[in-house]
Structure 1
Amino acid sequence: MKHLLILFLLLTTKAFAQGPFGDYAVVKDKDGYVNIRAKENVKSKIVGTLPNNTLVYGFFDKEFNPTNWIEVDKGYVHQSRLKRIFDFRAIEGKVQGNSIIFDDKDVKVTITKQKFDKTKHKITKKEHDGWAELIIDGKKMYGIEDELLPDDHYKSITVTMKGINVPIPKSAYDDLYQIFYFNRFIFYDEEAEALYIFANNSDASWAYLVCWQIVKDKYITRIIGLPL
């Protein structure tokens, strides 16, 4: 049932967006790393490596990526060396007011959103060739049209893993807006003690995905996923 609900959330997001979204996955290879190839071919030049548990975002759908290779920063990795985060153990959350709480034997996460108050932020306008965008607190906005103010945003994300508090920097979420509803699942890789907090926010052409990665007692990264 949980996997069906997760699939529903993804399909709902894709339906509202202008193009298809990719998936989040992590490197899982028996060698402990995967080679990055310059081209989508096992005989292509090796231009780098990614260690196990590196988070990536890519397009796995055969309709949009028939090659089985996922594009990363420097080149391509074969998707057989990746495991999607949705294949890890799902932890279901409960909404309580403006927060959602995930409480599990290994993990506790509380995500809180709040209404956007323009009096508490520095708002400037950046002019482009023929259009302009609002910049909030010096950062580009995700989830809202260029010249509109958002309705809401993340207030805080708190994480505890096996009794240890894991600080999540404000910079990991303070440019993300339009949190219309909470995603009901996060994902936990027990072997690596890695946590993946996934969300799909906003709607229409401004929809976006985000995945935060925490490994053991350390915040590692976030990746913003945008449609094609």
Structure 2
Amino acid sequence: MKNLTLLIALFLTTVVSTAQVAIIQDKDGYTNVREKPNGQSPIIHKLYSNEAFWYDYEDGHDTNEWIPVYIPKNPFSLNSTEVSYIEGFIHKSRLQPLDKLQPYKGTDFRFEYLIEPFALHNRIVDRYNGAVASIAGRPVWGTDGNFPRTQVKGVNARVEEQNIDINEVLYSDLYECTNTFEVYKNSDSYIVYQWNSDGAGAYQVVWVFTKGGLKQRLVGSMI
């Protein structure tokens, strides 16, 4: 079982390591995800406006009409040991790379991590071949098999004078965070994007907010 878990984790890291983050651009508010790269292929999912996902930029997206996409199975990336996304294709005209949006510089949105030195606090550690594989049953984003140096003790988020509550489960697996990130605004959504790392275990985090609260947390490992 441990070997299977490791193989799945390596597979996930390999796929996501070639991917970037995007949302869709579609006047209908959604885009069909196809099983194969053509318009006659079965629809396996729908992507809605301001829903973050990965796309494969090394698979010829400048020449191909259809782009491979990797869509998280749940909106908060809470999976830890199984492959936690589905694969499909969308037409490249519907793709909006996140880094092509204009950064938001306004004052209606605030986001900040509260960071403290790492402390184990009697949490259970799982190891694989001596490396730290999980803490308290959660993945250890931001390290390369060592204990982290810093952890998040809270997240402050505010949208247009409305404070947004962030449950501990949504930041307790994030380590080596900084308050350096890009913020984008698209329609009514504010999107926070950043990389975090201890120097080797780099990963992406994407937070999507509206006045109604947190809509998505996308977390992925990058090498």
Normalising by structure 2, what TM-score?
A: 0.74
The ranges of structure 1 where at least 4 consecutive aligned residues each deviate by more than 3 angstroms after the TM superposition are: 17-21, 61-68, 130-134
C-alpha distance after superposition, 1:153-172 (max 9, x if no partner)? 22221111111111122222
1:82 maps to what in 2?
A: 95
Does structure 2 conserve the Cα–Cα contact (< 8 Å) formed by 1:48 and 1:74? no
- Using a 3 Å threshold, how does the CA distance of structure 1 residues 206 and 105 change in structure 2: closer, same or farther? closer
Structure 1 gaps, min length 5: 1-16, 93-103
Once the two structures are TM-superposed, the CA of residue 122 in structure 1 deviates from its matched residue by 0.5
User: CA contact under 8 A between 1:21 and 1:226: conserved in structure 2?
Assistant: no
Unaligned runs of 5+ in 2: 1-12, 71-85
Distance 1:151 1:204, change over 3 A: closer
Alignment map for 1:1-228 (pairs within 5 Å) = 20-61=17-58, 67=64, 68-72=66-70, 73-91=86-104, 104-118=106-120, 120-127=121-128, 133-146=132-145, 148-179=146-177, 181-189=178-186, 191=187, 193-203=188-198, 205-227=200-222
Aligned equivalents of 2:41 and 2:92: distance in 1? Answer: 16
- Change in 2 beyond 3 A, CA 1:91/1:111: farther
Contact 1:114 1:155 in 2 (8 A): yes
Letter in 1 for 2:201: W
2: CA distance, partners of 1:154 / 1:66: 42
The answer to whether the Cα contact below 8 Å between 2:148 and 2:198 also exists between their aligned partners in 1 is no
Alpha-carbon deviation of 1:51? 2.1
What letter matches 2:124 in structure 1?
I
Distance 1:25-1:116 versus aligned 2 partners, 3 A rule: same
Letter of the aligned partner of 2:203 in structure 1? Y
TM-score, normalization by structure 1: 0.72
Distance 2:115 2:166 in 1: 15
Structure 1 SS opposite 2:99: helix
Q: Distance in 2 between matches of 1:65 and 1:20?
A: 19
